[in-house]
Amino acid sequence: MRSFITFIMGMVCLTATAQNINDVLRYSTENLQGTARFQAMGGAFGALGGDLSSLNINPAGSAVFNFSQFTVSGSNYHRNNDASFGNSTFNTSINAPEINQAGGVFVFKSPDSPWKKIALAFNYDLVENFDNEFFASGNTTEGIDNYFLNFAQGVPFGNLFLGQNEFIEEAYLRIGEQQGFADQQAFLGYFGGIINPVDETSDSNTAYISNADYTSVNQQYWQITNGYNSKFTANLAGQYQENLYLGASLNFHSVYYERLTLLDESGYETTSPIQTTTFDNFLSTQGNGFSFSLGAIAKLNNNIRVGGSYQSPTWYYLTDDTSQRINSDLADDDINFIDFNIVNLFEEYRIKTPSKLTGSLAVVFGKEGLLSFDYGYQDMSQAELRPTADPAFAAENDFIAAQLGTVNTYRIGGEYRIQNVSLRGGYRYEESPYENDGIIGDLEGYSGGIGYDFGGSRLDLAYGRTTQDVSELFYETGISNAALVNRVNTNITLSYTLKF
């Protein structure tokens, strides 16, 4: 009966808002995915088209196709992370195979009309693969008690009491629903044995102290994420006369994200009332989004092409649920009843990502090869959490506007053909979204690949590598502990294209 009651309580619990700048950045960034040809050339397809993943850059690109075709791509994502914290560095790596792209284009030719071709395309792309993990371990002067003290100071001690005949997990959910996230975390710290009120005899006490005695502690921290941000594109484009291509796309986004963090803390003074602490958190986010894009490609002559495109903001509708568990030497006997089966559900919220402009230039050397360049501009300070009438969201949006800036993206790609064989290479550089690039560094990537055209079909292989330094905060408030993570991501992608 007890587990049934806590399940129902978990389903109706609505906590105070906890969304922040990290959520905005997570869904505002589109990593380079797509077909093998697209990846091998660094995604520099804004003035080229003729590839299903080029629709992510310029929706006019489908009108460049001469034949109807279908393409499917699979990738192996290799994540390698070196996490430095407390004078120690630890390496973790994972592999994540995925079908990352599938789509088709139907080309309708009308030589007697000014509109020489009309193309209708449908494409699925994995915009972002969230599968990743890192491990950090080292000594710090900021223990987890600071996290709970940050929330507890100012909370009346009486607000943390169990109700009559109330289970501990029921009180945890009730406080989160009725009093908010801060009181709930204070409750967790108190019943987890981490903090105590200064005056335990007073319900109105609002000052708290730590039960941990230390000059420095050892923290071992795991962060494991998985999920995806995918995009399904419905595209219509046409070729007008001989030299102009116009297109538009509707994009439907789907988000699934999970993050598990595990903290073990030890190394207290021998006289400390607690000697070990564990604190684990689980976040699950699901939702969907919508965006649209417009674009054009013009042939200036037989060799030079230029392109321009507008990517609208993406409007996401998301829901979060969170679970926690804690333990220490002084924890309440029933603390283990607060576990990952006790779920806090948040109200639906929205994120608006910034729009993006892309300008492109390509030089085509007949059938021998080509060079292509794309420049992208996105003002990340315009990202928003919504509804903006929510005071917490309004304050966080002010913080976003102050912390984030413009992101300039540069992509260069080339292809050289030797009969049926195509050799490809690419380079990508993307500036940090932060004004202070010590939080998230610039991203740099190199790629290469090969393709073989069988006539009615084509097989393409690509290898891509990106590097970026990221400062990963263990917790977003209360303590400043962070691991500096050097991310090295490598993708191997194989695509098969069938023409019809």
Region 134-154 average pLDDT: 97
Evaluate whether 69 touches 498 at the Cβ level (below 8 Å).
yes
Confidence of residue 2 (pLDDT cuts 50, 70, 90): low
Name the β-bridge partners of 232.
124, 252
Please give the distance of CA 68 from its chain centroid, rounded to a whole number.
33
Tell whether the model's pLDDT for residue 1 goes beyond 60: no
Note the pLDDT of residue 29: 81
Confidence of residue 17 (pLDDT cuts 50, 70, 90): very low
Evaluate whether 157 touches 205 at the Cβ level (below 8 Å).
yes
Higher pLDDT, 346 or 410: 410
Alpha helix locations (H) across 179-261? Answer: 181-191
pLDDT in tens, 201-235: 999 999 999 999 999 999 999 999 999 999 999 99
Confidence of residue 9 (pLDDT cuts 50, 70, 90): very low
pLDDT in tens, 450-479: 999 999 999 999 999 999 999 999 998 899
CB neighbours of residue 409 within 10 Å = 18
The rounded distance, in Å, linking the Cα atoms of 265 and 135 is 14
Note the pLDDT of residue 19: 85
Percent share of the chain, pLDDT over 70: 96
The tally of CA atoms less than 13 A away on the side-chain side of residue 367 is 4
- Sign of the CA dihedral with 241 first, then 457, 102, and 79 last: negative
pLDDT in tens, 165-196: 999 999 999 999 999 999 999 999 999 999 99
294 three-class SS: strand
> How are the residues of the chain apportioned to helix, strand and coil, as percentages rounded to the nearest 5?
20, 55, 30
Residues in the chain, total: 500
Ramachandran angles phi, psi of 149, nearest 5°: -65, -35
- List, in order, residues 6 or more apart from 31 with CB less than 8 Å away: 127, 128, 129
Note the pLDDT of residue 11: 42
DSSP letter, residue 21: H
The candidate with the shortest Cα–Cα distance to 376, out of 352, 353, 360, 400, is: 360
Token pair 């397809």 is found at 45
pLDDT in tens, 231-273: 999 999 999 999 999 999 999 999 999 999 999 999 999 999 9
